[in-house]
Amino acid sequence: TSGIDYILKPFSKNTVQKAILKFKTITQKTDSIQPNYKELFDTISKKIQSTKLSNIIVYQGDKIIPLAGDTIALFYIDNGIVKAINFDNKKFTISYNLEELEQKYSPHFFRPNRQFLVNRSAIKEAAQYFNRKHLVHLTIPFSEQILVGKEKINAFLDWLANY
């Protein structure tokens, strides 16, 4: 709670009237504030929409395929080319770089190092590794090691616990 005014001894009728007037002025201002329900609804709607992972367009030959964001297990760089693997273990070539994908899919995906961007749903477990690094094990078969560098361990563990 907070005070509105101080009434110190010895007080007079005039100091009490001023304090009451100040109280009435403040309460009238706050009583007239009505919540903007449309703005509140729009904010909640945007928050709900942001939890849904958007699609990404994949080009395969002459085909244009919308790949749902929540079906992607990870993005990775293979010989300078960004690729995606979905939970069915199908691989796709992506025309975005990892920085763009990280912005698009954060916080559902985490970037443990420069080569990988991993979906939270694709992580089975993480284990301690040499030199204070962590090794990420996925729910899908993947032959490369995904290491979380020691400078990102705290952010990774926080993300793993909260998403």
Report the predicted TM-score, pTM, of the whole model to 2 decimal places: 0.68
pLDDT of residue 55: 92
Q: Mean pLDDT, to the nearest integer, of 16-21?
A: 87
Over 70: is that where the pLDDT of 43 sits? yes
- The H or E element spanning position 40 is helix 37-51
Q: Mean pLDDT, to the nearest integer, of 140-154?
A: 95
pLDDT of residue 87: 97
* CA 163/CA 122 separation, integer angstroms: 12
Average pLDDT of the chain is: 88
* CA 54/CA 93 separation, integer angstroms: 17
Over 80: is that where the pLDDT of 33 sits? no
Strands 134-138 and 146-148: antiparallel
User: Given pLDDT bands bounded at 50, 70 and 90, which one contains residue 143?
Assistant: very high
| Residue 5 near residue 17, CB atoms below 8 Å | no
Q: Token digits for 2?
A: 């907070």
